[in-house]
Amino acid sequence: SSGINAEWPLRPGLVNTNDNKNPHRSKSLICVPMKTKGVSVHRKINKMGMHSSDTAEITMENVRVPLDNIIGEEGKGFQQQMNQFQNERIYAAAGAIPAMDRAIQETIAYTSQRQAFGKSILDNQYVHYRLAELQTEVECLRALLYQCVQQHVAGEDITPQATMLKLKSGRLVREVTDSCLQFWGGMGYTDDVIISRLWRDTRLISIGGGADEVMLNVICKYMGIDPGSRG
């Protein structure tokens, strides 16, 4: 991310820094400034969404950095990476919820003034019932977010809850934006309205920070129903 435009982007890399046979204790997080010798930016990658954040294809060949570029403790990069996932998953939900709120409110505003067959689109029972259903789902997710934040601040291990939060956020935001876009008709398929951007940008939530399938795997392990967990 930001590999094209940032003047001082730091790329944390999880790399082997010792010969420990335990793969979870042999890795460290390393900061690699983009101007370091051996770092090459090949091209900007065009994405379907998140256009304000550039993404670059980067290669590193014989790159060396000072020991001071290690983030945290040497050999504990894996644990540090796992710990930050809880923050990232909470952040994903915290970003998804206002996006869903806006999608619903913008859709209400548009459908209330868009006329078809002598009445507004919003006056159709299916439309306003569906929007009520979606808002209810968003409020349930908001409650789970608040619970996760409260437990996290208290120092509790929220790995299963944060994982469920991330999974539900990615799936619900897809449902909300897709359902809302449908009510915009052909206009929703254009780049001239906000709903198409919300649909494109939020699709990343089910992919970035751990795909839905990874979230399900983590949840299954905590439930003890993963084949490997049952042993």
- Residues with active-site annotation: 88
117: left (phi over 0), alpha (psi -120 to 50) or beta: left
CB proximity list for 162: less than 8 A, separation 6 or greater: 85, 86, 89, 90, 148, 152
> Alpha-carbon distance 136 to 116, whole Å?
27
- Residue found by looking up tokens 């997710």 in the block: 141
* Helices (H) then strands (E): counts for the chain: 6, 7
Q: Report which secondary-structure segment, H or E, holds 101.
A: helix 77-113
Q: What is each CA distance from 65 to 3, 35, 202, in whole angstroms? A: 18, 11, 36
